[in-house]
């Protein structure tokens, strides 16, 4: 299987949205509504957008994506690559796509002189947790995430 990780281009938008809807279904969440989809597409491909999107492609079909952006660590005094979403279609899991994404993300983090990468995972997603631990990622048990909806 010939899989390529590359920067997403505007022509990918329908396929990326299809994959986002797959992720919503997997996580048992409502997918983005039409307004959110329009905003996503605008933000994914806007020149000055802070969000970056890379995709996995095989045989002209997108099979995964990763959304990321940069935050800042005051204690490291360096940027942090924050991975918002990484998703691989179920038929392509365990084929090395996840490792390919993380290799590309690590390259981006090093190129941007980041001190670390961070992301979150649902506590019931044991396969993803196992995958991250196999990458030698550290689970931060003392931190809790909080959210305020606006």
Residue 147 lies in a domain: no
How many structural domains are present in the chain? 1
Q: Give me 112's structure tokens.
A: 């941007």
pLDDT digits (tens, 9 = 90+) for 43-91: 999 989 999 999 999 999 999 999 999 999 999 999 999 999 999 999 9
pLDDT the model gives residue 90: 94
H helices of 3-147, in order, are 13-26, 34-45, 97-111, 126-134
List, by residue number, the catalytic residues.
132
Please give the residue range of the domain that contains residue 45: 3-134
CATH number of domain containing 128: 3.40.630.30
Confidence of residue 1 (pLDDT cuts 50, 70, 90): confident
In angstroms, the Cα distances linking 56 to 13, 18, 29 are 13, 14, 23
Residue 67 lies in a domain: yes
Q: Percent of the chain scored above 70 by pLDDT? A: 100
Q: How far apart are the first and last CA of the chain?
A: 44
């Amino acid at each position: 299987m010939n899989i390529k990780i590359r920067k997403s281009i505007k022509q990918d938008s329908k396929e990326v949205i299809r994959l986002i809807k797959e992720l919503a279904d997997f996580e048992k969440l409502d997918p983005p509504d039409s307004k959110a989809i329009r905003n996503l597409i605008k933000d994914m491909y806007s020149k000055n957008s802070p969000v970056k999107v890379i995709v996995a492609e095989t045989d002209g079909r997108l099979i995964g994506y990763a959304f990321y952006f940069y935050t800042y660590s005051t204690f490291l005094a360096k940027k942090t690559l924050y991975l918002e979403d990484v998703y691989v279609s179920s038929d392509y899991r365990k084929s090395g796509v996840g490792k390919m994404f993380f290799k590309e993300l690590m390259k981006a983090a090093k190129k941007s002189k980041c001190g670390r990468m961070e992301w979150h995972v649902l506590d019931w997603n044991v396969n993803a947790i196992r995958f991250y631990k196999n990458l030698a990622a550290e689970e931060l048990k003392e931190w809790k995430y909080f959210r305020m909806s606006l």
